[in-house]
Amino acid sequence: MSTLTQLRAILVAGLMGCGAYPACATGAESATPAQVDPAPCVAAAAADDADKTIAACTTLIESEKTLKADRIKALIARASAYQRQDQIERAIGDYDVALRVDPTVADNFNARGELWRKKGDRSRALADFAAAIKLNPDHPTAKASYKSLAQELERLGVQMAVAGKPSFNCATANRPVEKAICANPELADLDREINDMHIIVVRQAVGVYAHTKRALQRDQEAFLAKRNAAFGSPGYDLRKAMKARLRQIVGADGF
């Protein structure tokens, strides 16, 4: 066999894993070292030891010899460990990598969504929950999280729309006390909350005790009358009076 033929044979054998060409076996083995053992990462994660999980799984993640499936599992295990240590950004980073490697796992989108939600980034959380549902329309956790977060965003939108606005129209406010409330966002929010809570307790009283409803309405009218008359007089604290009224309506302390 010519030298060129021998070289070709060795090259083919190398691509095929040497096979029947022992002359290249030693070189092939040194060029393809053994894979990293995933067992320490798996064991640490199973033992719920965050520090050992991070250390063992980092070795697995950073090695070029790690199989794709093992790298993804190690990323998820390390992300969980980071989350237990409240290192949310690092946990999100591991899910980012895992989803780049395999963007077809609904559970990973859902898990990252929960982390975004915990971090306060509601828009990204909602997007991840939606991605999880797209991959798995029957994913119960993602569906529940998406629904609750969407409702939360809706409530926040409503609250932002009325923030700093009282229960009455400031454009037609004539009384000095009403103008003062309109000029102060905190007092405006208090006024709206007093009015909203009053409406709620009155509705709850409907059909139960008619005299209770009338008494609640009289209390509210008395508060407004006293507020309008007393505002501007020495020693009158509008903010304190409004907070006291709110406590009276809800029947709780702490305001």
Percent of the chain with pLDDT over 90: 50
- In the CATH hierarchy, which top-level class contains the domain 39-161? mainly alpha
Q: Which position has the token pair 């090259």?
A: 11
**H/E stretch holding 226:** helix 210-230
Each residue's pLDDT tens digit, 211-233? 677 888 899 999 999 999 999 99
Dihedral, CA of residue 40, residue 41, residue 46 and residue 51, to nearest 10: 100
Q: Count CA within 13 A, CB hemisphere, residue 189.
A: 7
Is the confidence at residue 82, as pLDDT, over 90? Answer: yes
pLDDT attached to residue 203: 75
Contact 160, 131 (CB under 8 A): no
Total residues found in the chain within this entry: 255
Q: What is the pLDDT averaged over residues 94-105?
A: 93
Each residue's pLDDT tens digit, 131-176? 999 999 899 999 998 888 887 777 766 656 667 788 899 999 999 9
Q: Per-residue confidence at 21, pLDDT binned at 50, 70, 90? A: very low
Q: What is the pLDDT averaged over residues 183-211?
A: 80
pTM (2 d.p.): 0.53
Domain ranges of the chain: 1-32, 39-161, 170-250
Q: Return the closest-CA partner of residue 99 out of 131, 144, 123, 55.
A: 131
pLDDT attached to residue 29: 44
Q: What is the pLDDT averaged over residues 82-90?
A: 94
Q: How far apart are CA 113 and CA 95, in angstroms?
A: 10
pLDDT attached to residue 254: 37
Dihedral angle sign, alpha carbons of residues 86, 90, 96, 97 = negative
pLDDT attached to residue 207: 56
